[in-house]
């Protein structure tokens, strides 16, 4: 896959988590964001390597942090659509509000 489509709320997901980690340790916040962006890139480069979690939606874990990147493959557009950057302890159905029917 070559194209990347990012849901508008993903920027807020990333900014909120970055701010939280920055309060703990600015270097930790940078490390967290690096791993999140690497995970997004991994989803774009190899979307079929990641397990389905709901319908056609897949996830990449952001180890060692308790986050996952939720995405779907848009085959007709040859794109990966990033839906959410999601904390593991969050309501597991919350990200589904972003699904486009």
Pairing outcome for strands 67-74 and 52-54: unpaired
CB atoms within 10 A of CB 98: 15
pLDDT in tens, 39-56: 999 999 999 999 999 989
How many domains is the chain partitioned into structurally?
1
Global pTM? 0.89
Alpha-carbon span 19 to 69, nearest angstrom: 18
Per-residue model confidence (pLDDT) at position 6: 95
Listing DSSP states for 37-87 in one string gives HHHHHHHHH-GGGS-EEETTEEEEE-TTSSEEEEEEEETTTTEEEEEEEEE
The domain in which residue 89 lies consists of: 3-98
| CATH number of the domain to which 65 belongs | 3.30.2310.20
Give per-residue pLDDT as tens, 6-24: 999 999 999 999 999 999 9
């Amino acid at each position: 896959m070559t194209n990347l489509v990012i849901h508008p709320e993903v920027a807020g997901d990333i900014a909120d988590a970055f701010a939280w980690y920055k309060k703990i340790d600015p270097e930790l916040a940078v490390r967290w964001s690096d791993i999140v962006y690497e995970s997004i890139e991994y989803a774009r480069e190899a979307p079929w390597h990641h397990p389905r979690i709901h319908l056609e939606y897949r996830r990449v874990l952001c180890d060692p942090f308790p986050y996952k990147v939720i995405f779907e493959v848009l085959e007709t557009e040859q794109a990966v659509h990033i839906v959410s950057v999601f904390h593991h302890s969050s309501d597991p159905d919350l990200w589904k509000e972003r699904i486009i029917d």
